[in-house]
Amino acid sequence: MDKLKKVLSGQEESSGDGSGILERANQASTLSWGTRMRGFGICFVLGALCSILGTCLLWVPGFGLAVFAVLYSLGNVCALASTMFLIGPLRQLKTMCAKERALATAIMLVCLILTLCAAFWWKNNGLALLFCVLQFIAFTWYGLSYIPFARDAVMKLFSLCI
């Protein structure tokens, strides 16, 4: 358990002198292990509830799709924020921008913004739903990048189906 705490808090990888402003801000804002776990749990459950509630409200006539788009996007943001409690915001941003995740991260964030634009600005329900689906696929691909060989397995599975 101590090894997991060290890895998640970034203590094993700290090799710099800590003189950078981001490094100092990250060190000054460290949370206790229990607080990190509570923050992770609250954000993760809140994200799941937003996504489920949005799905339930999808079928409400008139405004259901716009509410779904907002709640689903908010759920994804909360899910991303939950992992920031585990590894810290600086390390989360670094891992999101790593070469194996950069494309999935960019697509996910662009689709999140386009979902909200389609729901509120363009008032196009079909596009909002399409961007939600693309957001889900990009978020899934992003999540699979954390599991060793998961992306390869998914690609192989789809190649067998086609």
Tens of pLDDT along 55-97? 898 888 878 888 899 999 999 999 999 988 888 888 899 999 9
> What is the structure's pLDDT at 126?
87
Tokens of 6: 């060290």
Q: How far apart are CA 5 and CA 12, in angstroms?
A: 10
> Cα separations (Å) of 135 from 11, 68, 100?
33, 13, 17
CB of 50 closer than 8 Å to CB of 78: yes
Higher pLDDT, 147 or 14: 147
> What is the structure's pLDDT at 59?
82
Question: In the 8-state DSSP scheme, what is residue 102?
Answer: H
CB of 58 closer than 8 Å to CB of 71: no
CB of 141 closer than 8 Å to CB of 151: yes
Average pLDDT over residues 30-54: 91
Higher pLDDT, 72 or 33: 72
> What is the structure's pLDDT at 72?
93
Q: How far apart are CA 40 and CA 102, in angstroms?
A: 23
> What is the structure's pLDDT at 123?
85
Sorting pLDDT into bands at 50, 70 and 90, what band is 9? low
Residue burial 4-43, b: 16+ Cβ < 10 Å; e: rest: eeeebbbeeeeeeeeeeeeeeebeeeeeeeeebeebbeeb
Task: Reply yes or no on whether the pLDDT at 21 is more than 80.
Answer: no
Cα angle value 74/155/149 (rounded, 5°): 80
Tens of pLDDT along 85-139? 888 888 899 999 999 999 999 999 999 999 999 988 998 888 988 999 999 999 9
Q: How far apart are CA 9 and CA 91, in angstroms?
A: 9
